[in-house]
Amino acid sequence: MMDPLTAIGLASNVVQFITFASDLVSKGRVIYKSADGQLVETLELSEITEILQAEIEVDHISTGGRLATKTDKQLEELCNGCRGVSTDLLRAIDALKFNGRHRKWNSFRQALQSIWKEEEIQSLTMRLERYRSQIDTTLLFSLREVVLQQGHGFARFRETLNKDMAKFMDESREWQADILRSIRQNQDPTISLFQLLAAGKRPGEQSIEERIRENLWFREMKSRHEGISEAHEQTFDWIFTHGETTPDDILPKSSGCSEITNVRWDNFAEWLRSEKSFYWITGKPGSGKSTLMKYLFNDNRTREHLDPWRGDSPLKTAGFFFWNSGTQMQMSQEALMRTLLYHLTDGQNEDIPRLFPYRWQRSQLFGDYDHPWTLSELIKAFEILMSDTSTRFLLFVDGLDEFDVDCEKLAAFLLGASQRPNVKVCAASRPWNVFEDAFGRRPSLKMEHLTARDIRLVVSDRLHTSLKFVEMNRIHPEDCRSLIEEVCKKANGVFLWVHLVVKSLLEGLRDGDSIARLRDRLVSIPGDLEGFFKKILHDMSPSKAEEASKQFQLMEAAVFPLSLLLFSFAGDGFDNAMSAEVKPMSLEEKQFRADTTNRRLRSCTKGLLEANDPAGQDPDSEVNYLHRTVRDFITRREFWASILGSVKGN
């Protein structure tokens, strides 16, 4: 018996040949004679006929050692008959190649009449019609055999499934009996169930524990942390070396901040070594809180200073950075819990059954490990994990003021976690009343009181990247030093303001501004962020303002972070997008679009929107607001109306 699917394939080839041959003999097909005397069309017909002849060979078809059925024999007879027809056609075509006397025939049939009798042509036509009728019946029988074969396969599958289900039910009854016995013997039934189920795991299979932990991960988990700018070289070193009062090397009197040189703050390195459990970093918007948090989280000295506190206990650290200018997930407590749990269980899959017992049992029994997380489940797992007093935990949580619900509850949650003797929490936020009330009596520092030296270093280093400023400093050293001091004094501890001001001064140097013009430029810049934002947008040309408006609106309309590549397509407009050719893009083309889009963002929004990749070469680099304060300003009702009004038409 031939395999039914093979038989159908062979029958399909026979149908194709019969259709071709019938069309060739009965319908019009013009044939021309070439310059060398051969018929051009007959060359093509000869090739097609030979190909189809090969497709209906049955010599290579095996029945697998089984007896041939009636259908197999009918199919073989049809193939042999069609081979006979193909042989006759090839002979006729060969004869036409050399014996054609006319330059053009109206049809292949007319050409055949020049070498065959009409009776021979009619006989061929009738043979083809008979084969067509027979192949229809044969094809139906082959399909019937396929259906029967599949039916037998389903029956065997059903039988196997029933056996497996019966075996599963027997094992379930045994598990239930074992659990009841352990209950009667005052054992923990959950532990017994863990042991029973774990024993049944197949070798090489990805563990349920791994799958559950992977399900904690979400796409935006690292994007905010990666998007925070790195600390400038040699800045923030003071946090590991100084404390209690602010010495002159942090706030030099020449910085204009001499009035706060005796401000008190709590030594962070000492806090790491001590038994105190909560530290609060606060400060003005744009004062560098997130940058400092990232610096502390990444710096090895943080873990080194923890040694006296942790002793011989293992240490686990994790951090989360709230971000209200990203997705809804990035400002939620669910994201906080999933991020902390994901990082704190790294390499500790054996903790998963203990942290998520219901999910683990359900996954073992039903394979359902990826159903949605609930906040109560995550909090319960976090509490279980923190209760392991043999391990020490250090948690960093940044941007509490960017939390999407109840900041008071978030503060209480973090304070509650820090009450455990094996847990330390370092949190950062703006100095809102809710956080002042919760953390005001805890160890803390205020950024703008401590960063004057860092700001001076940043201003000086960035201005010296301009060859024009280096030359100017050689000629007018006192004037250049005075300009740096004026920037530091006017900054009032706000790094973001410094970033924007230095950017403006560098643009002036590029355009050939003198030291006097640079000073005038500085004087014209408002000393507060909101005033500065207004000036940036007010100074735009109408065309740049319109394009910036579209880019801000696109940021607010997006339901997920947009990459430079997506931003570039959105900027093309609807009509261009619909008419564009659909084709794969090369890496070079993607990088070109990303670089072009990054340049347009910098030019039109004056840096208020930026890509995570400063070079703008990564097409997947996300576009974000420069800072949370930018989004707060742009989306304010009265200003948003002017943003919308900058776009002509729809």
pLDDT in tens, 276-293: 999 999 999 999 999 999
Are 42 and 140 in the same domain? yes
Least confident among 66-75, 215-224, 241-250, 581-590: 241-250
Kindly state the average pLDDT of the residues 474-501: 94
- From residue 621, alpha-carbon distances to 416, 591, 610, 616 in Å are 37, 11, 10, 7
Are 438 and 587 in the same domain? no
> To which H or E segment does residue 627 belong?
none
What was the pLDDT predicted at 398? 95
Domain, as residue range, for 416: 223-229+265-445
Q: Give the list of residues 6+ apart from residue 182 with CB closer than 8 angstroms, or none.
A: 188, 189, 192
What is the CATH classification number for the domain harbouring 358? 3.40.50
Reduced to 3 states (helix: H, G, I; strand: E, B; else coil), residue 295 is: helix
Are 462 and 559 in the same domain? no
Task: Give me the chain's average pLDDT, please.
Answer: 81
Are 366 and 396 in the same domain? yes
In a domain? residue 215: no
Are 294 and 372 in the same domain? yes
In a domain? residue 204: no
What was the pLDDT predicted at 335? 93
Classify residue 281 by its DSSP letter: E
Are 272 and 399 in the same domain? yes
Least confident among 118-132, 252-266, 463-477: 252-266
Q: How confident is the model at residue 123 (pLDDT cuts 50, 70, 90)?
A: confident
Q: Tokens 């997705």 label which residue?
A: 327
Distance between CA atoms of residues 402 and 285, nearest Å? 12
In a domain? residue 127: yes
What was the pLDDT predicted at 97? 62
In a domain? residue 532: no
Are 496 and 553 in the same domain? no
Are 558 and 630 in the same domain? yes
Domain total in the chain: 4
Conformational region of residue 248, where left means phi above 0, alpha means psi within -120 to 50, and beta covers everything else: alpha
- Tell me: the pLDDT tens digits for 344-360? 999 888 899 999 998 88
What was the pLDDT predicted at 33? 44
In a domain? residue 129: yes
Are 53 and 122 in the same domain? yes
Question: Over 70: is that where the pLDDT of 4 sits?
Answer: no
Least confident among 44-48, 401-405, 523-527, 535-539: 44-48
